[in-house]
Structures are given as C-alpha cells and as structure tokens.
Structure 1
Amino acid sequence: MLEAAIFVIFPMCLVLASWTDFFEMTIPNRIPLILLAAFLVVAPFVGMTWTTFGLHFAAGLVVFSVGFALFALNVMGGGDAKLLTAAAVWYGLTPALFTFLVYVAYAGGALTLLILILRARSNSVLAMGLPLPDSIISAKKIPYAIAIGVAGLATYPQSPLVLAALEGLRG
C-alpha cells in the first residue's frame, strides 16, 4: 500500500495540475496541498530520519522563496510556485532536486517557444481545426504546470521516496 501511494500520488497530482493549467490556466490549491499531505503521511514509513525530513522541507522552503520572488516580479504564477514547492518537498535537498529543476527549466523553455509559435500562427492553427483552448491562444500567460509535470514525470524515478520504496520492495 505504501509503495502504491508513493508510485501513484505524485505523478497523478502532476498530471492533474498540467491538465487543469492547460485548459483553465489555473492550478487548484488542493493539488499542492495533497502533495504536501501525502508526503507527510508517506515519509515516516520509508525510514526517513528527522534530519532528512527537515532537509525535504528545506528544499521546499528554498524553492518557495525563489518562486515567491518570481511571482512578485510577475514572472511566475502563484499556482506554479506552489506546485513547484510541493514537488520540491518530495525530492528534498538531493541531486534529484537539481535534476528536476533543470528539467523544469528546459521543458518550460520549450513549452514557452511552442506556445509563442502557436500564438503567432493562431489563425493558421485554428483554420486547420486543431482544438486548442482559447486560453492558450489569447492568454498572456504560459501554463507552466505542463513543464513542471513533464520534468516531474521524467525525474521522479530518481527521487528519494521512489528509491526507498524500490529498496523496500527488494528487501
């Protein structure tokens, strides 16, 4: 049961956040809250020490600080900052967090370029009959949860909780 929670909750929350951000340009607050609550429930059962537990929340605090600054500068949305913070807690202050953040940056850059191209050619895209939400074409924002989701799904197998769960299954 513990392994199922570790393998399912994080990816499902990222997929749901990506989906809602794509269609509605919002990330419901319950998604980062579910991620944080699930981490609080799961972490003690994987043998995490108090120090390691604290380092996971320190990772969230560092990412939240940067995300809040970017939000204050109107560079990042509040939902994106909260989702990124909750995801960072699952990674902790580990090399996997750095890998995740690098993937977020690359996926975000590619996503931004793709959406800018779509917006520049919106008449052609719409004339071809491609079903795109109006928010993708007309909004001034980028649904960055998609980049966070792609990066999270790509790097989650390297996260400490997944590695601990796999070790538990082997042991």
Structure 2
Amino acid sequence: MAVATIWLAALSVTSGLGALLDVVTRKLPNWLSLLMLVGGLGFGFALDGWTGLGLHFLHAVLALGLGYLLFIWGVFGGGDGKFYAACAAFFPVTQMLWHFVIITFAGLILAIIWFTAKRGFGLHKRKKDDFAKLPYGVAIASGSVALALYGMQ
C-alpha cells in the first residue's frame, strides 16, 4: 500500500474523529492534536525525507500561530487552533494558503447550515453554553480532507 494512501487514511480517520468529538462534546482533545501532529510530521518525513519534515513542521508552527491569533480575536476556540495546527502538519508549508482558504470556505458553508438549522429548530433562543457554539472542528477536518483529496488528483 502506498504511503500516500496511508497518509490520506490517517488524516481522514483522525480528523473525522476530531470533527465527531467537536460535534458531540464541543471539545477537541489535546491527545488527538498531538497524535495528528506526530503523524503528519512522520508522513512528511516518509514522503520527502528531512526536507519534507521541515516543510510540514513549518506549516504546523505557522498554523498554530494563526490559530492562536484567531483564538485571541475570539474566532476560534483554543482546541480549534491546536486542531488546525495538527491538520496542517499533514501538508507542507507550500500548501498553507490553500489549506487556510479551503478551511475558511468549509467554515462558511458550515456556518450557513448551522445558523439556518438553529433558526429552523428554534435553537437560536438557547442559552450561551458550549453547544450554542459552531463546531468549527468540522470545517477544519473537512477542509483538510478536501485539500488532501484534491492534491491526490
């Protein structure tokens, strides 16, 4: 089995688990982000050696910085920022802009569906608890998998 196929499966399963946990618990656990970070960096090394490891690591570091800024500005939760960096570790820094754009687009679609559903089911009157918040991990996961699938063509 090719490394690229295993890479896609690992990204899909781990990010899918993150999306599911975000929907069900509104938490993105640190252990999952750490597992994904190590896995993404490992695949970077397996695909392109030390250069690949460096390019994947740089993307993860820059994504963590961007995620931290989005957290400070109140756009992301702390878990979202770490999860974004963990997903970024699966891609070299040369794909950083596309990764961010695709995740943002997925977030826009998610927000439209989320707020329409909240209105339709009368959930917009709900108290401001964790479940009133948009589970942005879904957008991060789906955007990351979409980029991976696009890149495999």
The two structures share one fold, judged by TM-score above 0.5: yes
- What do the CA deviations read for 1:119-149 (whole angstroms, capped 9, x no partner)? 222249xxxxxxxxx99x9833110111112
Task: Report 1:125-140 matches (<5 A).
Answer: 139-140=131-132
Q: Which residues of structure 2 form unaligned runs of 5+?
A: none
- 2:66 maps to amino acid: V
Residue identity in the other structure for 1:109: L
2: distance between equivalents of 1:83 and 1:25? Answer: 13
C-alpha RMSD of matched pairs (Å): 2.6
Q: Which residue of 2 aligns with 1:148?
A: 140
Q: TM-score, normalised by structure 2?
A: 0.82
Q: 1:37 to 1:139 in 2, by over 3 A?
A: same
Counterparts of 2:54 and 2:130, CA distance in 1: 42
Q: 1:106 to 1:151 in 2, by over 3 A?
A: same
If you compute each CA radius of gyration, which structure gives the higher value, 1 or 2?
A: 1
Higher relative contact order (CA 8 A, sep 6+): 1
How much does 1:158 deviate?
Answer: 4.8
Deviation at 1:2, TM superposition (A): 6.4
Amino acid corresponding to residue 92 of structure 2 in structure 1: G
The answer as to 2:64 corresponding to 1:72 is no
Secondary structure of the residue aligned to 1:90 is coil
Shift of 1:37: 1.6
Label 1:59 to 1:42 Cα distance change in 2 as closer, same or farther (>3 A): closer
CA-to-partner distance for each residue in 1:91-123, whole Å, 9 max, x for gaps? 1211x3322211111110111121112222224
User: Separation in 2 of the partners of 1:92 and 1:42?
Assistant: 10
Match of residue 130 from structure 1: none
User: Which TM-score applies when normalising by structure 1?
Assistant: 0.75
Instruction: Determine the structure 2 residue equivalent to 1:121.
Output: 120
Contact 1:119 1:138 in 2 (8 A): no
1:101 corresponds to which residue?
Answer: 100
Flag the 1:111–1:7 CA change in 2: closer, same or farther, 3 A: closer
